[in-house]
Amino acid sequence: MSETSEMLDQALAAIFTRSGAGPAQRGAPWPQDTWSTVEANGFAYLDLDEHGIGLEEAVRIAISVGRHAVAIPLVETAGLVSWLLARSALERPEGLTLGAVSHPLDDLRVTPLSGGDAEISGTLHRVPWGRRADHLVAIADFDGTPRTVVLPRPAEVRAGENLAGEPRDTVLFDRLRLPAAAIAQGVGPSPLELRARGVLLRAASAAGAMQRVLAVVLAYADTREQFGKPIRTFQAVQHHMVDVAEAAAATMLAVNAAVLADPGERLLAAASAGVTAKEDTRRLNRSAHQVLGAIGVTDEHELPALTTRLWSWQGEFGSSRDWSVFIGRAALNKSLPSLWSLISSTGQAHAGRALGEVVPW
């Protein structure tokens, strides 16, 4: 961890602890005090032009949000919106600017108008905190060319939520006129890049949540007694504890590998991190709840706030199957000398060999 990332991690932990932004309960009000503090300290939107700020810092924020189960769109603003706008040479408007999750069913229909303006209609699905957005940043298709657009406050929002109670809203636009200044003039990030960065950040949040789940499981197994001794001494419980520890370690390792990957391999590394997080969520959640039993599903306990988020992130930015197919196609790429070179490469063997795109994150 770099010095900048370590300072960021400590600062966010202090903010979340001081503001009491622990695991949010379903239907809890918007934590305005927490968000205002985060924004006032400059963490809501990262300045990607500032020295030392990049992917590692965005990942560190995502890990912290996952570990504390904080119900604010910090991953979306700091990790996605800042990056999309910077890569697209667009200014961030005033107010809460959120990013639309790249959902397979998203459909923005664009009609070019005179003077560089455009008219947009369509639907964005499962937008995190869409109801609170003053603006939304999304990628629209301009005659086959993906271009980033900044959309004003949605005219129609249909409220929804994920399993953890976090807002995931449907946003509709009907013949919305966008000025040229709200449309990226050059080619910005592709939908594939957005999904890859998004799935990596979700994997980072999952890694943070898994770390906290492991701590909860270990503490409970150490203090809960059965037949006069702690349940951690029973072999069946130990097996579940090992499953939780392995899943947490594997996910964090995959996330760190993606951060350290060479640009030519980053899409593949992000896909691997996403699949690892999604697959390991299943065994971690199962084993964690086996250890805690009935107490682990009560609203008063910390565990459900963590595990329901882990379940909720399963389908965001692409499913495990979607990214497994992407990895499989890369493995079958005929330009590679061998499958082993793909698995063991240090970064030079197949950079630029059509595994995706070179991603300057």
pLDDT tens digits, one per residue of 27-62: 677 888 899 999 999 899 987 666 567 899 999 999
* Same domain assignment for residues 161 and 214: no
Of 182, 215, 230, which residue sits at a domain end?
Answer: 182
* Same domain assignment for residues 176 and 233: no
Query: Which comes out higher in pLDDT, residue 297 or 20?
Result: 297
Residue 355 domain-assigned?
A: no
User: At 210, which CATH number?
Assistant: 1.20.140.10
Residue 351 domain-assigned?
A: no
- d(CA 337, CA 331) in angstroms, rounded, equals 10
* Same domain assignment for residues 118 and 143: yes
Q: How many domains does the chain have?
A: 2
Residues 339-351, mean pLDDT to the nearest whole number: 57
Instruction: Say how many CA atoms lie within 13 Å of 238 toward its Cβ.
Output: 5
For the chain, the residue count is 361
* Same domain assignment for residues 176 and 40: yes
Structure confidence at residue 355 (pLDDT): 45
Of 149, 182, 215, which residue sits at a domain end?
Answer: 182
* Same domain assignment for residues 56 and 119: yes
pLDDT at 360 over 50: yes
* Same domain assignment for residues 176 and 207: no
Judged by average pLDDT, the poorest of 18-22, 118-122, 235-239, 297-301 is 18-22
- d(CA 139, CA 147) in angstroms, rounded, equals 6
Mean pLDDT of the chain: 87
Residues 307-336, mean pLDDT to the nearest whole number: 88
Residues 126-137, mean pLDDT to the nearest whole number: 94
* Same domain assignment for residues 81 and 8: yes
pLDDT at 352 over 50: no
* Same domain assignment for residues 273 and 124: no
What angle, rounded to 10 degrees, do the helices at 266-292 and 191-223 form?
Answer: 30
pLDDT band, residue 330 (cuts 50/70/90)? confident
- Note the pLDDT tens digit of each residue in 283-319: 999 999 999 999 999 888 999 999 999 999 998 999 9
Residue 334 domain-assigned?
A: yes
Closest CA to 75 of 147, 12, 124, 140: 12
Structure confidence at residue 334 (pLDDT): 60
Instruction: Determine the structural domain holding residue 212 and report its residue range.
Output: 191-344
AA identity, residue 143: D
pTM for this prediction? 0.91
* Same domain assignment for residues 178 and 108: yes
Structure confidence at residue 155 (pLDDT): 78
Residues 92-117, mean pLDDT to the nearest whole number: 84
Residue 277 domain-assigned?
A: yes
Residue 349 domain-assigned?
A: no
* Same domain assignment for residues 64 and 107: yes
- Note the pLDDT tens digit of each residue in 274-283: 999 999 999 9
The most confident of 89-98, 125-134, 144-153, 243-252, by mean pLDDT:
243-252
pLDDT band, residue 20 (cuts 50/70/90)? low
Structure confidence at residue 173 (pLDDT): 92
* Same domain assignment for residues 176 and 198: no
- Note the pLDDT tens digit of each residue in 189-209: 888 999 999 999 999 999 999
Q: Which residue has the tokens 């001494």?
A: 233
Residue 360 domain-assigned?
A: no
User: At 37, which CATH number?
Assistant: 2.40.110.10
* Same domain assignment for residues 217 and 152: no
Residue 353 domain-assigned?
A: no
Residue 352 domain-assigned?
A: no
